Amino acid sequence: MKKTAILLFCFLVSLSASAQILYEEFNSEKLQETRKLKIQLPRNYDSNTEKVYPIVVVLDADYLFEPVAGNVDYLSYWEDMPESIVVGIMQGEKRYDDCNYDDTNFFPADKGAAFFEFIGLELLPFIDNNYRTAKFTIAVGHDFTANFINYYLFKDPPLFNGYISLSPDLAPLLDERIPQRIPEIESEIFYYLATGTDDIQSLMEVTKLLNAPLQNIDSENFEYYYDNFDGATHYSLVSRGIPNALEKIFSVYRPISKKEYSDVLLKMESPVDEYLKEKYNTIENLFALTNPIRINDFIATATAAEKLKQWESLREIGTMAKKQYPDMNMGDYFLGRYYEEIGEPKKAMRTFQGAFDKEETDFITVDMLLDRADKIKADFGY
């Protein structure tokens, strides 16, 4: 098991090496010192000049940066999350001063207050001004720094959209304050919390204490995820929590899966094309990303529309596919099938024939289109 974990870690590190890793020295007025940053830019960042990217801010980057950056690169390669810019703050032994809080009100104080302002008033504006960023940011922390990222929930609006809190060493009263604060937040918040059965006992207990009220919050703006990993220690839970957190936060971004197709699409009573539109509207609204609809998602929704005999949905999906991918034959195939089913065989035949010189898509081959056209011609004597 240990050998497998090491191999997986090495694999993720090798993946992150294929992205661009930059090393910056940031002179902070708030901290009155220079801080070292690690920044991973997505693959092909330089060539995709119109594309913008969410930001993942990693505290404790001395040891958290590589596992986060590797997972971001890996998951975005397979489209399980959008390509993102990963920004790591090197802290070392300064992490304790950086996370300092007042003994009375338990909010950031002294160096902790300066570090709080450094991230919000200096670091993120610097990243926004120097890189192509989308307006969606995630913070990642572990024990002391996992506690610290929660303070940004109390800004109005909160600084981050997503929070990955790995075995937090919570300040006093924070387990009460966070559940009280969440319902007051009007913006969409994604919150991931993790511990392990072999975590440090006190941290496991306080994490469970925080989980109890969070899981009962009923708010359409709050997406909450919790893991208690069996057999995971304070440190091994990190390697299991990071990919889980990223997958869950970006679940709507993923291509339509077989499970989603069978459990959701095939059971829909509302138009399937509306589901497709809503999926990509949500991606745009949440992550500020205007992605083209994937070929996979066109095929999945069109196939579901056929099985459900939602012919108007099939027409709408075919129209969108033809507009978005004019050189591919799938839009013509969907529209041809629509014309067949509504009793317009001549239009169907001509639509199939008109796509013979277009690029084939998945199972939609030129021979398939021409065979359908020839069958209509023979059946109706055209």
DSSP letters spanning 336-361: HHHHHHTT-HHHHHHHHHTTTTSBPB
Q: What pLDDT shows up at residue 2? A: 45
Cβ burial, residue 22 (10 Å; 0-12/13-18/19+): exposed
User: pLDDT digits over 14-30, tens only?
Assistant: 444 467 999 999 999 99
How far apart (Å, rounded) are the C-alpha atoms in residues 359 and 345? 23
Closest by CA to 245, choosing from 46, 47, 67, 107, is 67
Instruction: Evaluate if pTM is beyond 0.85.
Output: yes
β-bridge pairing 162-166 and 222-233: unpaired
User: pLDDT digits over 70-105, tens only?
Assistant: 999 999 999 999 999 999 999 999 999 999 999 999
CB 99 within 8 Å of CB 145? yes
User: pLDDT digits over 295-333, tens only?
Assistant: 999 999 999 999 999 999 999 999 999 999 999 999 999
Tokens 């991230």 belong to 119
**Could you tell me which residues come within 8 angstroms of residue 273 by beta carbon, excluding any fewer than 6 positions away?**
301, 305, 310, 313, 316, 317, 320
